[in-house]
Amino acid sequence: MSITIQQATTDAEAVTINYGAFIQTLIDFVIIAFVIFMVIKAYNQVHKKQEEAQEELPKPSNEEVLLGEI
């Protein structure tokens, strides 16, 4: 898709504005940005679940701490 500003002559090519290429590039950018957003969102969810799992571990008793120091 383009708009022709000046027709082609025998020694020069036509002058056009290719707005179709711009629209395609814009659509590609939006798709790639959305995919990157979803990947980062999924990574953050997994990371958050791992932190919650580590926080749920029971604290060692005093006896276990003393044995660990030995």
pLDDT in tens, 13-66: 888 888 899 999 999 999 999 999 999 999 999 999 888 877 777 787 888 888
pLDDT attached to residue 39? 98
Residues 15, 22 contacting (CB under 8 angstroms): no
Contacts of 2 (CB under 8 A, 6+ apart): 16, 17, 18, 19, 20
Domain count, the chain: 1
The pLDDT score that the predictor gives to residue 43 is 97
What stretch of H or E contains 6?
A: strand 3-6
Between residues 23 and 69, the one the model is more confident about: 23
Domain assignment of residue 38, given as a range: 3-69
Of the two residues 6 and 30, the one the predictor is more confident about is 30
Higher pLDDT, 26 or 69: 26
Report how far residue 64's alpha carbon sits from residue 14's, in angstroms, rounded to the nearest whole number: 83
